[in-house]
Structure 1
Amino acid sequence: MYTILLVDDESTTIKLMRYMLENSRFPVLRIFEASDGKEALRMMHEYGADLVVTDISMPYMTGLELCRQLSREFRYTPAIIVSEHDKFEYVREALVCGVKDYLLKPLCKERFLSSVRRTLEELPETVHTIGETSDRWRGLADTWVEAVLQENRPVQEMTGRKWLASLQSAPPYLCLKWHSAFHRILLQSAAAKLEREVECSLHPYHGQTGAELTNWVIGDFKALQHAVKLAAYTDNQRMIYNAQKYIQQHYNKEITLEELASSVGYSAPYFSYLFKLKTGISYMAYRTQLRLKRAQELLLKSDKPMPQIASEVGYNDVTSLIRAFKKELGYTPSDYRKGGFV
């Protein structure tokens, strides 16, 4: 799916080009509009585009000036000029700027669509369309952040290499899109106290050239990785504390993994992985420890019968309590009550 930017100070021409594109069979995702070159540049920095179609005579910045700027800042984005002027010097200047085609007004539908189709088909294979690139990098971002959070270093390094390789060959405005996407993921994963610091870290790219932006984003990669790790550590520690507190309050009940994970806002598989990673035992083993500790207290400090103790600490019958004692402690509840294993 392609994104096309139409630039003309004549609204009728814009409407005509939009109509022809929307009624063609081109896989066009979005069509942006600008009334002059300055507005077009702003939109390129903000949204990017796979193709720019521009008039020449416009206020503030002409189409030729826009094309010169595009060739410097957005070298992967081709341009087509539509103009009322057939002067040789205009055509020559357009060719110098790398313009793909020069169409005269009034526009011929067949010629216009043919030019757009040919230009889009000639886009380098290494440069995906805006929508595809964003989706692909978003997938890489999700994989990378998950690997960082799970401390899966092989996947983390492999994904990082793929990401940096893409960055080094990508247009600068896509680097900006990448950083914005990563910023959102980072804030979702990071502790709230880091949000202001992350926001401040985004200011340096404003006003920079494309090359400077690319270098800055690549250089910032390791710093962001460190921030994610730090924030994840804080969030994970809080999650473990809350989970342990929940188990302590409900240890004598049958808590499912899904129920426990939901209580702390995590998916069941991810919670199970993190809990064991951070505590060294599974949540079931932690609950068993709490049950047996409470059972030991009741055995020594009360004369309650064994079935009642088993029920109070969460076991359905005495047999289950005895089995847990022997497996985890190596002796029976009766032996413990006799005082030989204090």
Structure 2
Amino acid sequence: MKMYTILLIDDEPMMLKGMKYMLEHSDIPIRSILEATGGHEAIRLLQQFGADLIVTDIRMPDMTGLELCRMLSEQFPLVPCMIVSGHDEFAYAREGLRYGVKDFLLKPLNREQFTASLRQMLRKLAEIGHPNGISTSEWREIADAWTEAVVQDHQEKRVEAEVKWLECLRYAPPSLCMIWHGIFHVALLQRAGGKLERAMDIPLLPFQGQMLEELINWVVEDLNAICEAMKLHAYSDHQKLIYNAQLYIREHYNKEISLEELASSLGYSAPYFSQWFKQKTGISYVTYRTQLRMQRAQELLLKTDKPILQIAYEVGYNDVAGFIRTFKKETEQTPTEYRKGGSL
């Protein structure tokens, strides 16, 4: 079931409390209810959390509801808005039609009328077919461009396609973003399967967050998961083993994982795996892990002010003297010298 975030805006605390009570005791599936007492606060909440629907009073201390609706129509054009107003403001409130206002209700609010109107607005929201008004062909072009970039390992084109997709979601309410990306997810898998000639079945993880930034991260994480799966599907059995081995080492580079443990996790004996890994990559398991540790150490030395002792522990060395010896062997500089004059 889709869950919705609704933003309520009114400078009267009792009015906010009353609308919130009606929502909480309705059958509308609510993810969260945001409350603002003015227009500027409402904009801030929308930018931070996003919302699927907005209910605003016509009169507020910092701006009118119409001024707010005008700003919302520019910054969040796909988020439907309802205006609630007093009798003497109703004709004025109808001007909100120019800014995409979907409904007007008079105060005091009738509970049944209020919730019925909100349900209708949310139903219409769910019926919007394509992100931000782009055509089906444009949507497919983005999916094709992304999958082709992944197959060709073209990072710049992949990022370009991802930016286009995120731009499509930019002005949409969270629930609509989730619907659209779910459809986009399926489209990517279909195109990837066609290009790789193998079926792709990667589940879409449920979105558990609330903030807009978390929603964007959810989309990016899903794209990364599909990308990794595509690479794995494209590999031969030997390539898959190398990929899995390197992935395991990258995830555990700062731990003392023995060669026996690594080989066993992949289903091989240590002697066979050691010989095979070096034959395929040109370096030993220990050398590969050391390179990862030194790369991370260099990043920490240049991007943080952490003590060298702490950096040594973070990259997997309990003996700081051993860390310094290894670092100097790999870079021809001590950690201190590298921090003073090194560069990534």
What range describes the TM-score normalised by the shorter chain of this pair?
0.3 to 0.5
What is the TM-score normalised by the length of structure 1? 0.47
What is the TM-score normalised by the length of structure 2? 0.47
